[in-house]
Every structure is written in structure tokens, then in C-alpha cells.
Chain A
């Protein structure tokens, strides 16, 4: 009986805390984790509006939005997820590219990166981590780049898959893999800068990784003014400079 009482108490606590005050919320793809603090600080300086961010994989965010998650703006790691939301009426603006992700090779075990992607096929290089190409745009382009240099088949046995670019970072940082295909925004972030070595993957070997932003239906319903202002801000010169400084290419 005691246990039942406690359970009931716990349930009430949970349900009451869910209804806490709602802030203006931007759902962001995992690779934006580092750049977003700068963006939010600059946005607050200009407008006085406080932004709360939710970091997750783009696909998970899209699924959560479909299930009624209270997000106002969505900054994705690709164009497809926001496109899907727009088509189904969960987003009120067509996806607009705000930045392009830059693919890099990153190693903390002293692997030889001087020969680029083609050099990964070398016997001296051990396991290579990529983000799951089925789920992550960066993973898809990593595979494109391997195909471009015709080393995909040779690399196949050494490949391990992280569920996202974030997990690739964990594999590289724990030195469990020799090399990982990562994002420039990650390797130059203050948390990781100076750890190991990285080289950019030549741009001709993969398709540009365009990242799109949309205003979500919830944003227009709940925080229309903040959502519109933020959407404008992300495309402003100030924001572009922040993206450039953080390792993104600009549209």
C-alpha cells in the first residue's frame, strides 16, 4: 500500500512539472551544438529574446515534431527532413539553406592523413569511423567521397558506423578508431581544437551538405514574433560571420 502511495505521488510530480512555463525553443541538429551558443548570445544582444535550444539528430527532431513536440524553429543538418515537415504542414516556411557543412578527416592516433581519403586504404590505417550513411547526411557524403576516390570496397572491412557525427567524434576521441569522417565545425570547436590532426576532404569529391531552417507551425502559434525575428537573424550578416568563424561554408 505504501508503495502505491509513493507511485501516485511520483506520477503527480511528473505531470505537474511537464506544464512548466514554455520558452521560445529552437530544435538544432547535433553539428550545431558549438556554433549555437554564439548565435543565441548575439540574438539576445540584438533583440533581448532568450532562446532555448534542444540538440538532437535531425531525423529524431523531425519525428518528435510530427508527434507534437513544442518546438518553434528547426535548424536541420540537411534539407530533406525540413522539406518533409513543410510538405506535411508541420512547418510554415519552405526550407532555406543557412549554411553548408564541411567534411574533414580527423585522427587522434597520429594516422597519416597526408594522402587524404585515398590514403585510408593503406594497410597502416586501422578502423575508420563514419556516421551511418542511412541516417546522417555527413555519413552519406563520406561514402560519396570514398566512391569518388574508388576506395569504398577496400575500406569496407575497416568501416565502423556511428549513429551520428557526434558518435564518430566519441570514437575518434577515445582513440578506438584511427580516423573518422567528421565535420569542420566539430574539429575547430573550442572543446576539441588542437586535439589530434585534421584535413579537409576536397570539395569536388562530395555533394555540398546544405543545412536548412524552417519555422514550425508551433512557432507561429506560440511565439510568432520571436520565431520570425530569429529566422531573419540566422540569415543576417552577423549570423553569417558567426557560421563562417565556426567552420561552415555559406550559401
Chain B
């Protein structure tokens, strides 16, 4: 059976993934929109930087984040000056790291969705004197929302499955940074295989149900879309 620590770890994981998904929707949308619409020469370098977390090994990324966020690091000095204290080994430190690490998982699907909207609807909206913001909310959003769903899903799933980065900057503090993936790892390391199996099974089942629900919902929405 699940111990109280396991339940605490699961709850923390869900909390972390939800906060990260929400933040990335806010951050990722303008980034993806800019990448889809902009014509400047430095669009390519920005796109490359956004995709970097895909290639960096998580433990490497985690180590440099630890250096940057530590009390002597540039980010750490900034957070301390702002009165936020030091970020490593705290929940918000994990949030910041996960936002960086999951950024491409939010931006890529949104970019694809925005690009598939195409020029024409935007031109039509413009001739009808819609402001850019109005265009975005009344034309782009209704057309691109399956992309938002995919992006949010991938981001959430990716954050739930995160391990290397968390291990590097989390410090395994119960209730703060001991997420389910780390808890499973601890069980395995301590040769507590039955506890590891139980927790892993719960995680698998939860992830499967969430993903299945979303895919079913998406499939139905797409069907409605093609009939409409």
C-alpha cells in the first residue's frame, strides 16, 4: 500500500506539474506566437535556444541551474536581493527549473498550431478592423485550441516524468522537492521493490487515465471541428 510519504510525493508531483503547465501557457503562448509571426533574422537563434532543453542531458542542465540558483550564482544573487531567498532545494526552485526544462514541450505544439492557422484568417480579421489582440482571442484561439491542449498535455506529462533535473537541484526534501519520480528511485535504491512497484503502478495508471481522457476529448473535438 502507499505510505503517507508516497501520497505526499504524488500530491507534490501533481502540484508541480499543474503550476508549471499554467506558467508555461502564460510564457509559451507569446513566445510561440512571436516565433510563428515574426520575420526577423534572429527568429532562428531564438527558436534554437527554446529547443535547447531537448538536447541537454537533464543532469547537466540541473547542475548548471544549481550553480546559477545557488546563493553565489547570478540567479541566486537576484532572488536574494528580491527577498525571495535561495531557490535550490525549494518547491519554487523546482518550478523554475521545470519551466526551463519543459519549455520546448509547450512552445513546439503551439508553434505548429499557430502556423497552421495561416495568413488568410488574420488578413480577413484585419480588413474587418479587428485589433491584433482581438484577432488573437476571437480568431486564432478558436482555431488553434487543439494545439493548446496538446501543448498543455505534453508539458504536464513531461513535468510528471522529470527526474534528472529534480535530483540535481531538489535535494530530496520531503514535502518540498521529493516528487514521485524521486520517491520511486529511493524505493528502488533501498531495494524496497514492492513499494516501488506500487507507487510506479499508481503513477502509470494516473498518467494513462489522464492522457486517455485528453486524447478521447481531442478526437471528439476534431470530429466536431470537421463537421462544423
Contact of B189 among A126, A135, A159 (CB under 8 A): A135
| Total contacts A-B at CB 8 Å | 64
Question: Do B72 and A162 touch across chains, with their CB atoms under 8 A apart?
Answer: no
Complex Cα distance A175/B167, Å?
Answer: 16
Question: Do A109 and B172 touch across chains, with their CB atoms under 8 A apart?
Answer: no
Question: Do A160 and B171 touch across chains, with their CB atoms under 8 A apart?
Answer: yes
Chain A contact residues (Cβ within 8 angstroms of B): what range?
A: 20 to 34
| Interfacial chain A residues near B169, Cβ < 8 Å | 176
Any chain B CB within 8 A of the CB of A216? Answer: no
Question: Do A160 and B89 touch across chains, with their CB atoms under 8 A apart?
Answer: yes
- Known contacts A59-B190, A135-B186, A170-B63: A175-B70 contact under CB 8 Å: yes
Question: Do B171 and A162 touch across chains, with their CB atoms under 8 A apart?
Answer: yes
Write the nearest CB–CB distance from A104 to chain B, whole angstroms: 20
| Interfacial chain A residues near B186, Cβ < 8 Å | 132, 134-135
Q: Could you mark each residue 68-91 of chain B with 1 if its beta carbon is under 8 Å from any beta carbon of chain A, else 0?
A: 011111000000000000101100
Q: Report the nearest A residue to B189, measured CB to CB.
A: A135
| Number of residues of chain B lying within 8 A (CB) of chain A | 22
- Known contacts A132-B172, A160-B173: A176-B66 contact under CB 8 Å: yes
Any chain B CB within 8 A of the CB of A127? Answer: yes
Write the nearest CB–CB distance from B89 to chain A, whole angstroms: 5
| Interfacial chain A residues near B167, Cβ < 8 Å | 163, 167
Most chain A CB atoms below 10 A, which of B66, B168, B186, B189: B189
- Interface residues in A119-151 by Cβ distance below 8 A to B read 126-127, 129, 132, 134-135
Write the nearest CB–CB distance from A110 to chain B, whole angstroms: 11
Question: Do B89 and A170 touch across chains, with their CB atoms under 8 A apart?
Answer: no
| Interfacial chain B residues near A171, Cβ < 8 Å | 66, 171
Q: Report the nearest A residue to B176, measured CB to CB.
A: A160
Any chain A CB within 8 A of the CB of B26? Answer: no
| Interfacial chain B residues near A135, Cβ < 8 Å | 186, 189-190
Any chain B CB within 8 A of the CB of A44? Answer: no
Q: Could you mark each residue 204-226 of chain A with 1 if its beta carbon is under 8 Å from any beta carbon of chain B, else 0?
A: 00000000000000000000000
Any chain A CB within 8 A of the CB of B191? Answer: yes
Question: Do B172 and A59 touch across chains, with their CB atoms under 8 A apart?
Answer: no
Question: Do B172 and A174 touch across chains, with their CB atoms under 8 A apart?
Answer: no
- Known contacts A170-B63, A174-B66, A176-B66: A134-B71 contact under CB 8 Å: no
Any chain A CB within 8 A of the CB of B203? Answer: no
Write the nearest CB–CB distance from B68 to chain A, whole angstroms: 9
Q: Report the nearest B residue to A60, measured CB to CB.
A: B189
Any chain A CB within 8 A of the CB of B67? Answer: yes
| Interfacial chain B residues near A126, Cβ < 8 Å | 71, 86
- Interface residues in A165-201 by Cβ distance below 8 A to B read 167, 170-171, 174-177
Complex Cα distance A126/B169, Å?
Answer: 16
Complex Cα distance A161/B167, Å?
Answer: 10
Write the nearest CB–CB distance from A26 to chain B, whole angstroms: 21
Write the nearest CB–CB distance from B69 to chain A, whole angstroms: 7
| Interfacial chain B residues near A60, Cβ < 8 Å | 189
Other A-B pairs, 5, CB within 8 Å; known A59-B189, A134-B190, A176-B71:
A161-B171, A162-B171, A174-B70, A175-B70, A176-B169
Provide a sorted-by-A list of 11 A–B residue pairs whose CB atoms are within 8 angstroms.
A109-B72, A127-B171, A132-B189, A163-B167, A163-B185, A170-B168, A171-B171, A175-B71, A176-B70, A176-B71, A176-B89
Q: Which 7 A-B pairs have the closest CB atoms?
A: A160-B171, A176-B70, A161-B172, A175-B72, A176-B88, A160-B89, A174-B66
